[in-house]
Chains A and B, each alone.
Chain A
Amino acid sequence: MADTTARVLQGNEASAIGALAAGVDFFAGYPITPSSEIAELLSQCMPLINGRFIQMEDEIASIAAIIGASLAGATSMTATSGPGFSLMQENIGLACLAEVPCVIVNVMRAGPSTGLPTQAAQGDVQQTRWGTHGDHAIVALAPSTVRECFELTVECVNLAERLRTPTVLLMDEVIGHMRESVVLPSGDEYRLVRRIEPPTGLRDYCPFGECVPEVAALAAFGGEYRFHVTGLTHDAHGYPTMVPEEVDWKIRHIVGKIESRADQLASNEEFMTEDADVLLFAYGSTARVAKASVRALREAGVKAGLLRVRTIWPFSQKRLRELAPGLRLVVVPEMNLGQLVVEVERAVCGEARVVPLGKVDGHLFEPGDITEFVLEEVGA
C-alpha cells in the first residue's frame, strides 16, 4: 500500500529518496552547495540499507568511484554542482566510452568559477552536453517540481542502466532547495530498469559487442566473466584498437544509441499550446515562472503557450517541428545567456522567430520579466 500522506520535502531530499527507491546502493561525493543535502541524506541511509556511502577527496575521485562501483555491479550515483561538475568531465567521458551506467546529479549554481554558490542558474546546459572532450552523447533530465526530482532521479537510474551510459539529473538551485508539499509516487507508480546481464556459459563474452537489443550485455566484475575495460577506444572485447572500422563503429554507437532515441526519450509538458502562436520554451524552475507568464499573456490577449521539456539531452526536435508552422514567435527564457535556445533554433528552422531571454544575475525570473519581454516582442 502506498503512503499517500503529503510531506514537505526539498528537491534535493526528493532526489536522494528517489535514488533509494531506484535501488542506488553506492554513493560517492564531495560536499558542495547547493547539492550537499543529497550526500547528507544518503550517508544517513546507506549503512541501514546494505549500501555504502563514501566521501571522496574530490569530485574527480567521486565520479571515478561510482564508475568503479558500477562495474562491480552496484547501482551508483554522485551529486555535485558546477565546480565539481567541471572536475568530473574527464571521467564522464570514460563512462561514455566504456559504457558504464552511473548517475550524476548536478544542482546548477551560478558560474563560471566559484560564481554564486547559493544562487540559481542554468548555465551548465551545454557543458552537460559537451563538457567532456570528443564525440559522445549524454542523457540529461531537468525537473521542475519536487516530485519530479524523485521521478527523474529514478528515470536517470533507469536510463543509465538501460543504455549503459552516464546520465545527469540537471537541477537548478531553486529546484534543489525549494520545499513543496508533495506525495511521492509509490512503488506501483514507477518501474525499475536494470542492465541486461549476459547469459551464463558463453564461450566468448563480448562486453562491447553485439547489442541485445540496444546495448551489449554488461557483466559485473567478480562474476563469471573476466574482461577488460579501458578509456582507450576499444573493440568488442574491450581491447584498444586503432582499426578505422572498429573505431568508427564505437563512436557512432555511443552517440547513436542515445541520439537515435531522442524522440522516444522526450518527455514534455504542454500548457495552452493548442491554439498558441507565441510559444514559451522552458525547463527547470524557469518553466514554473513561464507558466504564470502564459496566463498573464492570455489575459493581455496574446495567444501564448508553454512547451516545457524534462528531457534536455538528447534534444528532441519533434514537438517543436510540429508546433512551428503555427507559431510566429518562440521565446526561450533561460537562466543563462542562451544555451538551449540554440537547439530550439535548429528545430524551428526559420519557421518562426526564436528569441532568447537570458538572465544571469543570480535571481529567478519573475513572471513579469517574461510577460513584459513577450509583449514587447509581439509589439503589443
Chain B
Amino acid sequence: MSRSIEKAREYLRPTKKFPTVWCPGCGLGIVQSALVRAISRVGVEKNAVTVVSGIGCTGRMPAYVDFNTLHTTHGRALAFSTGVKLASPSMTVIAVMGDGDALAIGGNHFVHACRRNIDMTAIVVNNSIYGMTGGQYSPTTPHGKRGTTAPYGNVEHAFDTAALAVGAGATFVARTSVYHAQEADRLIEKAILHRGFSVVEIISNCYTSYGRMNKYTSAVDMLRWMKENSVPVSAWDKLPPEKREGKFTRGVISEKELPEFIEAYDEQGRRLTRTPAAVERVRDILTAYDENADRLRVADERSGEAESGRGENKT
C-alpha cells in the first residue's frame, strides 16, 4: 500500500461516504490532502485537532477528515473556532473557509481574528467565486472577470487576502496555490506550528462555477494559469513592475512574534491572583452565593494546563 493511501486511511473518515460532494477537478481535494499531510507532519494527535468551517464547497471539508469537526454557519467559522480554542487551549484549531465565507460575510470575524492573535490557523481557499451557490462574484473575483451576478464583468475590485491579513495584524501570513500542493503542506505545517494567529491563502480552481465563465478550457488549464502566474516571494522584489501585473506571490509573506491572546489572558489572571485587592473584590462577589467562594482559584493553578497541553500536541 502506498504511503499516501495509508495516510488517507489514517486521516480520512472511514465511516463517511466517499466520493466527496466536490466536482471532478476541483482544487478542494488538493487542499484537503495538503491539510492532512501537514497535520500528520506536525505529529499532533487526531483527538487534539478541531477543524472548523463555515458554508460553501470549502465548508464541506470537515465532514471528510477524521478530527473533531464543526461545520458552522456561513462566515462564522473563526468565531466558533475562538470559542473552541478558549475553552480548550491545548487544541490545535484550524478553520477552513472559502473566499466568500472568510472575506465577505465573515470579513469582520476575519480581521478581528487577525488582530487578536489567538493561536489558530485560518486556511482561506480562494477560488475567486461563490462556488457552492453557482458562481456569483465574490470579494476576490478580479475586476472585469465574470460571475453569474457579474454577467458583464465585475465592476468591483478584489481583496488581496494576504495583504488584508497582514494589515489586520495576523502574525503569520502565507500564500500558495493548489498547483503547488507540496508547498501548501509545508506552509500549513508552518502555520500550525506558528504561535499565534496564522493565515494561509490557497489559490484554488473552480472550473465549474468560475473557469467556464472566464474562458478557461478545463480545470487543468486553471492549474496551468497558477503555475505561470505565481512568483515566489523571494523572486518578487527582483521582478520589474510590468512583469508583476496580474501575478501573485507565494511563500511566507509575513511572520512576526507577538504575545498570544490566551497566554496573555492567563498571565494576567495569574498576576491577579497575587493581587489581594482583586482577589478580595471577586471573593466578595462570590460570597453572595457561597461563603467559601470555592471557585476562586489559588495563584498559578492554571499555569500547567495550557503550556503542557500545548507542548504535547505541537512538538
Is A65 a contact partner of B295 (Cβ separation < 8 A)?
A: no
Is B296 a contact partner of A239 (Cβ separation < 8 A)?
A: no
Indicate with 1 or 0, residue by residue over A51-75, a CB within 8 angstroms of chain B CB atoms: 0101011101110111111111110
* A346 at the binding interface (Cβ < 8 Å): no
Indicate with 1 or 0, residue by residue over B41-54, a CB within 8 angstroms of chain A CB atoms: 00000111010100
| B285–chain A nearest beta-carbon distance, Å | 6
* A residues less than 8 Å from B247 (CB atoms): none
With A223-B47, A228-B13, A229-B70 given, can you name 11 additional A-B contacts, CB distance below 8 Å?
A: A28-B83, A45-B285, A47-B269, A48-B282, A54-B82, A60-B79, A61-B79, A68-B84, A72-B83, A231-B72, A239-B17
Q: Quick one: given A47-B269, A48-B272, A221-B68, are A76 and B83 in contact (CB under 8 Å)? A: yes
Q: Determine which of A20, A48, A222 lies in contact with B279 in the assembled complex, contact meaning CB atoms within 8 Å.
A: A48
Question: Could you pull out 24 A-B pairs where Cβ atoms are within 8 angstroms?
Answer: A17-B289, A18-B289, A26-B83, A41-B285, A45-B282, A48-B269, A48-B278, A49-B295, A56-B112, A65-B86, A68-B82, A69-B86, A184-B289, A185-B289, A221-B88, A222-B88, A222-B90, A226-B46, A226-B68, A228-B69, A231-B55, A231-B72, A232-B71, A239-B16
Is A61 a contact partner of B76 (Cβ separation < 8 A)?
A: yes
Which of B59-67, B133-141, B158-166, B194-202 lies at the interface? B59-67
* B2 at the binding interface (Cβ < 8 Å): no
Interface residues, chain B, CB within 8 Å of chain A? 13, 15-17, 46-48, 50, 52, 55, 62-63, 66-73, 76, 79-88, 90-91, 108-109, 112, 262, 265-266, 268-269, 272-273, 278-279, 281-282, 285-291, 295-297, 301-302
Q: Determine which of A58, A60, A70, A72 lies in contact with B91 in the assembled complex, contact meaning CB atoms within 8 Å.
A: A72
* A residues less than 8 Å from B84 (CB atoms): 68-69, 71-72, 221
| B267–chain A nearest beta-carbon distance, Å | 10
* B residues less than 8 Å from A231 (CB atoms): 55, 71-73
Q: Quick one: given A47-B268, A57-B109, A72-B91, are A66 and B289 in contact (CB under 8 Å)? A: no
Q: Determine which of B47, B50, B87, B295 lies in contact with A52 in the assembled complex, contact meaning CB atoms within 8 Å.
A: B87
Q: How far is the CA of A2 from the CA of B291 in the complex (A)?
A: 6
* A181 at the binding interface (Cβ < 8 Å): no
Q: How far is the CA of A28 from the CA of B266 in the complex (A)?
A: 16
* A245 at the binding interface (Cβ < 8 Å): no
* B residues less than 8 Å from A61 (CB atoms): 76, 79, 82, 108-109, 112
Is A50 a contact partner of B302 (Cβ separation < 8 A)?
A: yes
Q: How far is the CA of A16 from the CA of B215 in the complex (A)?
A: 59
* A150 at the binding interface (Cβ < 8 Å): yes
Is B108 a contact partner of A57 (Cβ separation < 8 A)?
A: yes
| B312–chain A nearest beta-carbon distance, Å | 12
Q: Quick one: given A50-B302, A69-B87, are A229 and B79 in contact (CB under 8 Å)? A: no
* B residues less than 8 Å from A222 (CB atoms): 47-48, 50, 68, 88, 90-91
Is A68 a contact partner of B87 (Cβ separation < 8 A)?
A: yes
Is B66 a contact partner of A226 (Cβ separation < 8 A)?
A: yes
Q: How far is the CA of A25 from the CA of B82 in the complex (A)?
A: 15
* B residues less than 8 Å from A319 (CB atoms): none
* A198 at the binding interface (Cβ < 8 Å): no
| B102–chain A nearest beta-carbon distance, Å | 14
Please, how many residues of chain A have a CB less than 8 angstroms from a CB on the other chain? 62
Is A91 a contact partner of B73 (Cβ separation < 8 A)?
A: yes
Q: Determine which of A65, A71, A150 lies in contact with B79 in the assembled complex, contact meaning CB atoms within 8 Å.
A: A65
* A200 at the binding interface (Cβ < 8 Å): no
Q: How far is the CA of A62 from the CA of B278 in the complex (A)?
A: 26
Q: How far is the CA of A62 from the CA of B79 in the complex (A)?
A: 7
| B79–chain A nearest beta-carbon distance, Å | 4
* B residues less than 8 Å from A50 (CB atoms): 295, 297, 301-302
Q: How far is the CA of A204 from the CA of B64 in the complex (A)?
A: 17
* A7 at the binding interface (Cβ < 8 Å): yes
Is B63 a contact partner of A3 (Cβ separation < 8 A)?
A: no
* B residues less than 8 Å from A66 (CB atoms): 83
* A residues less than 8 Å from B52 (CB atoms): 68
* A residues less than 8 Å from B67 (CB atoms): 226
* B residues less than 8 Å from A185 (CB atoms): 289
Within 8 A of B (CB), among A165-203: 184-187
* B residues less than 8 Å from A74 (CB atoms): 83, 86-87
Q: How far is the CA of A286 from the CA of B78 in the complex (A)?
A: 40
Is A17 a contact partner of B63 (Cβ separation < 8 A)?
A: no
* A residues less than 8 Å from B112 (CB atoms): 56-57, 61
* A residues less than 8 Å from B86 (CB atoms): 26, 28, 52, 54, 65, 69, 74
Is B268 a contact partner of A90 (Cβ separation < 8 A)?
A: no
* A residues less than 8 Å from B296 (CB atoms): 48-49
Q: How far is the CA of A184 from the CA of B290 in the complex (A)?
A: 9
Is A90 a contact partner of B73 (Cβ separation < 8 A)?
A: yes
| B303–chain A nearest beta-carbon distance, Å | 11
Q: Quick one: given A2-B291, A222-B90, are A64 and B83 in contact (CB under 8 Å)? A: yes
Highest count of chain B CB atoms <10 Å: which of A28, A41, A73, A231:
A231
Q: How far is the CA of A230 from the CA of B286 in the complex (A)?
A: 37
Is B83 a contact partner of A69 (Cβ separation < 8 A)?
A: yes
* A343 at the binding interface (Cβ < 8 Å): no
* B residues less than 8 Å from A227 (CB atoms): 68-69
Is A49 a contact partner of B70 (Cβ separation < 8 A)?
A: no
Q: How far is the CA of A69 from the CA of B262 in the complex (A)?
A: 14
Is A58 a contact partner of B291 (Cβ separation < 8 A)?
A: no
Within 8 A of B (CB), among A117-169: 150
Q: How far is the CA of A224 from the CA of B45 in the complex (A)?
A: 11
| B42–chain A nearest beta-carbon distance, Å | 16
Q: How far is the CA of A229 from the CA of B63 in the complex (A)?
A: 8
Q: Determine which of A52, A64, A186 lies in contact with B76 in the assembled complex, contact meaning CB atoms within 8 Å.
A: A64
Is A186 a contact partner of B83 (Cβ separation < 8 A)?
A: no
